[in-house]
Amino acid sequence: MPARRPTIADVARHAGVSKGLVSYALNDRPGVSSDSRRRILAAADDLGWTPSLRGRSLSTGRSFACGLVVGRSPDVIAADPFFHSLIAGLEDVFAASGQVLVLAVATPGREEAETYRGLADDRRVDGVVITDLRAGDERIALVERLGLRAVTLGRPDVVSPFPSVSVDDGAGIRGAVAHLAGLGHRRIAHVAGPAAMLHGQRRADAFAAAAEAAGLQPVMVETDFSAAEGAEATRRLLAAPDRPTAIVYSNDHMALAGLGVAQRLGLRVPEDLSITGFDDTELGRVIHPSLTSVATDARAWGSAAARALVAALEGAPAEHVALAEPTLIVRESTGPAPSNPPRG
């Protein structure tokens, strides 16, 4: 049989004090002398006592869990390293602060709303991290009505009572366009994410503005951020009569798929086609040719979001945190524009 878990009563007997005094000391409440507090903490350490999550939940009315509801296809989440790093960053903070991360994947719309309602009605979580903000995002008002605390990844375009953690996506895209234009590329395309997602639209807007500033005619193809749609977008672009000599992708996942499509078509990267990604994932650094990409720190983003949510759960006022601007890391997948661009 496993050893019985030490209780507050055991700590009280070991320290020679009352259970009430132990409770006050372990919860860092006033009314306990420094000598008694030291004795109680030493007794708890001797016995290997740790707080009971169930007991804390019953006494405080909190679940000590935070939710992450991702409204994307499970296949996209499984394949995209961004989510793995984001979750690792959330766990870095939640684990240290005694929170449990509850992950749910739901189809955007009714199923997603029902998932939030279920988490709130069953008191499974105290707060949530809201990702992939959308235009006029209805989840902000829903989560507020449900009485949950929240943090948003990015600044919503609707009134929100919640703290946010954001990064200027546009800076990275502008850097990619400037880099390619400086290499002499005049036909640059953008494989964008969905316009319904604010960060997808921000990146597309940044590309259009940067292309116009460089005197280029922007060409864009919208996708769902998946590798499959990134590959299909690449095929369409490269089949055009005046195909691009460079493509700016909205994530590394699609850029790697596009690289494969280009090579299967017999194009050399970067001699015939330059490619840039976004997120600077590990795989992009080790493939050949290595991927020029916009470097973001998804793990740091997750950690910052978790800290903001934990602070909100403790009653701190909402604050908006802006992370450092992403930067372009130049590698082997970009080079000078070909002197005689091939035509489809």
Taking the domains of the chain in order of start, what are their residue ranges?
1-48, 65-167+298-325, 169-296
Of the candidates 133, 125, 74, 119, the one whose C-alpha atom is nearest the C-alpha of residue 99 is 125
Token reading at 156: 């919503």
Quick one: pLDDT at residue 48? Answer: 81
Taking the chain (344 residues) in runs of 10, the rounded mean pLDDT of each run is 71 87 75 86 83 53 82 78 91 87 85 92 90 94 96 96 94 96 96 94 96 92 94 97 96 96 97 96 94 94 95 90 94 93 55
Question: What is the CATH code of the structural domain delimited by 1-48?
Answer: 1.10.260.40
Q: How far is CA 304 from CA 36, 258, 270, in A?
A: 37, 32, 36
Pair type for strands 127-130 and 164-166:
unpaired
- Give the model's pLDDT for residue 52: 59
- 0.95 exceeded by the pTM? no
Answer whether 295's CB lies under 8 Å from 325's CB: no
Peptide bond into 6 cis (omega under 30): no
d(C-alpha 340, C-alpha 337), whole Å: 9
Question: Residues 263, 305: contact at Cβ < 8 Å?
Answer: no
CATH number of 169-296, picked from 3.90.550.10, 3.40.50.1820, 3.40.50.2300, 3.90.1010.10: 3.40.50.2300
> Contact 293/251 with Cβ under 8 angstroms?
no
* Secondary-structure class of domain 65-167+298-325 per CATH: alpha beta
CA distance linking residue 86 with residue 258, whole number of Å = 24
CA dist 136 → 107, 108, 239 (Å): 18, 14, 36
Q: What is the pLDDT of residue 122?
A: 78
Please report the pLDDT score of residue 322 as a whole number. 93
